[in-house]
């Protein structure tokens, strides 16, 4: 079994077990990554991992906020037309490539 499969299984299991994920917010601003017109939403399975990531950002003021699974999978986040999220980055770390899901793939995995 390769590292990506193990990482996928661990991420999905952790998110399902705790009933949600952690995102970074600064007031009403959501931390997203933009590339070529697409938006990727980084999410973490713990506040500590999200905090570690936020501390190394050039922008300040971002802190972890827990998003329950029902909200995350619904119109407020992954299905939000205003956010236009295309990909989700699973527990990204600085200097390392992160496991990336399309919104549809992640929604399907988290619902099972």
Query: In terms of residue numbers, what domain contains 72?
Result: 3-111
* Domain tally, the chain: 1
Q: Token match 């999978």: residue?
A: 73
- CA pseudo-torsion sign 54, 15, 95, 35: negative
- Check residue 22 and give its pLDDT: 98
What is the CATH number for 84? Answer: 3.40.1350.90
Q: Contact at 8 Å (CB) between 9 and 3?
A: no
Q: What is the pLDDT along the chain (112 residues), one digit of tens a residue?
A: 444 555 788 999 999 999 999 999 999 899 999 877 789 999 999 999 999 999 988 888 999 999 999 999 988 899 888 888 999 999 998 888 889 999 999 999 988 6
Torsion on CA atoms 43, 48, 24, 42, rounded to nearest 10: -20
């Amino acid at each position: 079994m390769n590292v990506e499969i193990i990482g996928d299984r661990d991420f999905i299991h952790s998110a399902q077990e705790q009933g949600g994920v952690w995102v970074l917010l600064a007031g009403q601003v959501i931390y997203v990554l933009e590339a070529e017109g697409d938006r990727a939403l980084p999410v973490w399975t713990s506040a500590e991992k999200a905090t570690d990531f936020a501390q190394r950002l050039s922008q300040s003021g971002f802190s972890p906020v827990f998003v329950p699974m029902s909200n995350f999978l619904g119109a407020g986040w992954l299905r939000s037309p205003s956010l236009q999220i295309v990909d989700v980055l699973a527990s990204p770390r600085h200097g390392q490539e992160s496991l990336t899901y399309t919104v549809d793939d992640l929604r399907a995995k988290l619902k099972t």
